Chain A
């Protein structure tokens, strides 16, 4: 079974540019989570979806961030315009909905550097 797939693995961009991060969850997993990891703030949940519907986006830092899940096998996290403080590792994770005993499985992450 393929795990959670994220692309790109590394992204370097200049301030003001649009950045789009992509995630493919594990097949059959109905919940998808986006996290951001920085040294200062640790691992933060940005947003999560159940059955393609956003459930909790309270962790999204500001309007520059948006996330979509157009179907069960694909999600995007977009930053527009990007700023240097957005530099971080962004993780996507998935798990089956409602089965709380199941853990979240993480993708390899996207390392973003905004210059």
Chain B
């Protein structure tokens, strides 16, 4: 069975400083991994996904994530936070033909001026 752990429920950074949102997963098969962002009162938007190609994945809005199989991690990073990055971020693991799309509990990112 798959599972996703997002190690921090809340991360607070200052504008212009780096962002690190941590995600660890458990999967019996070769997983696909996704990061989604949810702004307040909005739907979920895909930031990036890993599907067994390059281990360093670049997404939208300057975000990227690195798949590390040995650490079963897929941490999300951004070099410099913007105020508009304040949102909830979800790490997602998918395998078994995509019939199990399991969300992590989410990390709320606050960006301070």
Do A and B come together as binding partners? no
Chain B: residues with CB nearer than 8 A to chain A? none
